[in-house]
Structure 1
Amino acid sequence: MLTFLSDWYKARFSDPHAITLVLILTSLALLLYFAAGLLAPILVALVLAYLLEWPVAQVARIGVNRTTGASLVLILFIGLVLLMAFGLVPSLWKQGAALITDLPSMLDKGLQTVTVYSQQYPQFISQEQIEAMILELKKLLDTEHLLDFGRQLLGYSASLLVLMVYAILVPLLVFFFLKDKQELIASSKRFFPSKRDLARKVWFEMNQQIFNYIRGKVIEIVVVGVASYIFFAVMDLRYAALLGVLTGFSVLIPYVGATLVTLPIALVAFFQWGFSSEFGYLMLGYGIIQALDGNVLVPLLFSDAVDLHPVLIIAAVLVFGGLWGVWGVFFAIPLASLVKAVINAWPNDQQQTQPKLDSE
């Protein structure tokens, strides 16, 4: 057994380039795991820099220097974000407040419906179960619980300071990442070992994949969110903007997000129309949007950049989401692609013996 492990270790880790790759990946993983909170502004700035690199490069192609191009693109991006924030956030706030206000009446209607079905089908749900549900709902809507929830919300007011810091630091970091891209990459090379051909190969593959993924994911969020909002508004569904935004952001979590956001949409439609033709048309249209997203939009945006089995994607969401929270969920697919790229690039027995055969 020890001989087998020794042979396996020599076969897989005898290449110094492979050792360098392992050290780099391990160092980055430990850094993100233990210092992700401190590095959060830098991570946000890197994501935005990847997103804005393409327009900056296009502006540079027409003869504009990179500093001017980065400034123009960043100003336009900040203006667009502010326009969306001031135009969308008030509407979302009003609809969220209206949803909270209507929640008791919606729950009453739901309980009445459940009571009717329990009388028609007592073998599936009993009166005791309904009474237990009512008791739990009363506890949930109890004044003390609501006050506790309010105190928790007030506790999050400190996050406004964090947002102010982000609003100052992140644009500055994005500007310098875009302006001094080549200088930063060149200066960072001195911190890595010289024998890094394998790491360079993996980096070239992942750099393009991460860029395509971030750009494609942002486009997917916008397209799905806008299409869902338009459909909900045409159907005259209540809280259309709020549910449209939730549907757009649900694409951040592959497969799981669409399942989670379906529940509030179905509940709002049910409380508004009941089991009627409007409810059926809404769920049918929502299903068509999800089908077009999964079968047309995703292959068009990501092409072969995300060549992973759905089981691997869900596993990556669970693993990396558990390690790094929201960022782990967002980068689950690129991280899974990184693992795949490392496995594909890792030297095997045939690759190590091939130079010997060629020399003979």
Structure 2
Amino acid sequence: MSDSQRWFFLIVTLILAFLLYLLQPILSPFIVAALLAYLSDPLADRLEARGLSRTLSVVVVFSVMTSVLLLLVIWLIPKLGHQIQVMVKLIPAVLTMIETVWIPWIKANTGVSLADFDWQSVRQLMTGHWQQTGNIVKDLFSSVSQSGMALAAWLANLVLIPVVMFYLLRDWDVMMDKIGHLLPRNVEPKVKLWARECDEVLGAFIKGQLLVMFALGVIYSLGLWAIGLDLALLVGMIAGLASIVPYMGFFVGIIAAAVAAMLQFNDVTALAWVGLVFAIGQALEGMVLTPLLVGDRIGLHPVAVIFAIMAGGQLFGFVGILIALPVAAVIMVLLRHLHQGYKSSRLYDC
């Protein structure tokens, strides 16, 4: 790559970053649509390979995804809202159990006394915050409906996402091909190699790990529902989301489920059923889900994922959270090639 080309790519990158900063208030629906199109493109490609036209393939994939998302939203949000309210009512009981059971046990076995701790303030703080969380959907719709412009903007973004997704998905391969033809001829093979590696990294995480997280959430929720736990859906979804870090979902979920089971059933045998549910979930993850959905592809390290999401949110808000993983994948690939170049340079082997 010549010096002029390096300056060109640097200037283009800076301009794009500056535009991203300026336009972030309106970019959310476009980025969400682009991510959904990226996730759906392999399915459309498979249907197209079976003889369907690109437009018909996109219509089929778009219809299925839209129907599934609508059903999930219509069914999931009210259920989660109800279970959050149930959990809010259990918080005082959890704190009472900590004061009457766990603190005396800790003192008896370790000699550490927590009697002077102000548990009443903790109870009021946690109850207040979780009550606000339980009413978040109602507050959101209330605040939006108070302003006609805010309501119009919210509805426009909601409608814009599927429209943009449809057109991006239909023209995805064409756009990628045109971008490839815009690159300087001497750097196109290298950029295509990097793009392919970035796609592998993102595919391993977004198309793999996120599906594993969703599947675990469903497995844990169904298992806890089968043993009669009232907070089955909430605990299962939290455990699934926490599975972004290996084994974190298991520990977070089993602790939350054990506390909820003890408060609901007041029977030690309930803990055995909770342990069985999470043991089955872990076995399915290790033997079925991860080999099938992720395989041997190298994705983003869990710590890199957490840092990327937090850094993106800090720098660019919600838009930063949406683009955090793609940017992290690009940086990871570039660092890998930079590391290889450094190991073969005179700086390393001198």
Task: Provide TM-score, normalisation by structure 1.
Answer: 0.73
* Higher mean C-alpha deviation, range 81-90 or range 36-45: 81-90
Distance in 2 of aligned mates of 1:147 and 1:16: 58
Structure 1: distance between partners of 2:307 and 2:130: 36
Matched with 2:205 is: 213
Change (3 A) 1:289 1:116: same
Tell me what 1:237 maps to. 229
- The match for 2:191 is 199
Flag structure 2 segments of 5+ consecutive residues without an equivalent: 146-150
Secondary structure at 2:26's aligned position in 1?
Answer: coil
SS of equivalent residue, structure 1 residue 64: coil
Q: Using a 3 Å threshold, how does the CA distance of structure 1 residues 113 and 325 change in structure 2: closer, same or farther?
A: farther
183-192 or 95-104: bigger deviation: 183-192
Task: Give yes or no for the alignment of 1:171 onto 2:187.
Answer: no
Q: Secondary structure at the match of 2:297?
A: coil
Question: CA RMSD for the aligned pairs?
Answer: 4.1
- Structure 1 counterpart of 2:260, which letter? V
- Helix, strand or coil at the partner of 1:38: helix
Distance 1:258 1:326 in 2: 28
> What corresponds to 1:340 in structure 2?
332
Q: Which residues of 2 match residues 23-102 of structure 1 at below 5 A?
A: 23-102=11-90
More relative contact order in 1 or in 2 (CA 8 Å, sep 6+)? Answer: 1
Return the alpha-carbon distance in structure 1 between the equivalents of residues 316 and 94 of structure 2: 36
Sort the Cα spacing of 1:189 and 1:107 in 2 relative to 1 into closer, same or farther, 3 A: same
Match of 1:4 in 2: none
Q: How far apart in 1 are the matches of 2:55 and 2:76?
A: 31
Structure 1 residue 224: deviation in Å?
0.7
Partner of 1:306: 298
- Aligned residue in 2 for 1:10: none
Q: Which residue of 1 aligns with 2:263?
A: 271
Kindly state the Cα deviation for residue 180 of structure 1 after the two structures are TM-superposed.
2.0
- Tell me the equivalent position of 1:156: 140
**Cα distance, 1:40 vs. partner?**
0.9
Tell me if the contact between 2:48 and 2:54 (Cα under 8 Å) persists in the aligned partners: yes
Residues 266 and 63 (structure 1 numbering): CA distance in 2 closer, same or farther, change over 3 Å? same
- Tell me the CA shift for residue 169 of structure 1: 0.3
Using the TM superposition, give the Cα deviation of residue 290 of structure 1 relative to its aligned residue in structure 2, in angstroms: 4.1
1:70 CA drift (Å)? 1.2
Q: Is the 8 A contact 1:224 1:293 kept in 2?
A: yes
| Closer, same or farther: CA 318–278 of 1 in aligned 2, 3 Å | same
Report if the CA contact (8 A) 2:88-2:130 is conserved: no
Matches within 5 A, 1:1-16: none
Residue 77 of structure 1, CA deviation: 1.6
**Alpha-carbon spacing, 1:49–1:147, altered in 2? closer, same or farther (3 Å):** closer
CA contact (8 A) 1:118 1:127 kept: no
Deviation at 1:264, TM superposition (A): 3.1
Give the superposition deviation at 1:331.
Answer: 6.2
Separation of aligned partners in 1, 2:314 and 2:194: 25
What is the SS of the residue equivalent to 2:45? helix
Q: What's the % identity of the aligned pairs?
A: 23
2:148 is aligned to none
CA displacement, residues 139-176 of structure 1 (integer Å, 9 cap, x when unaligned): 6557xx89987997765334573653333101100110
CA distance in 1: counterparts of 2:307 and 2:173, whole angstroms: 35
Matched, 1:136 2:128: no
Q: Deviations over 1:231-288 (max 9, x none)?
A: 2123322211222222223334666666555553343234235582422442464255
C-alpha separation in 1, matches of 2:109 and 2:342: 65
What is the aligned partner in structure 1 of residue 115 from structure 2? 127
The size of the alignment, in residue pairs, is 337
Contact 1:16 1:195 in 2 (8 A): no
Query: What TM-score, normalized by structure 2, do the two folds share?
Result: 0.75
Larger Rg: 1
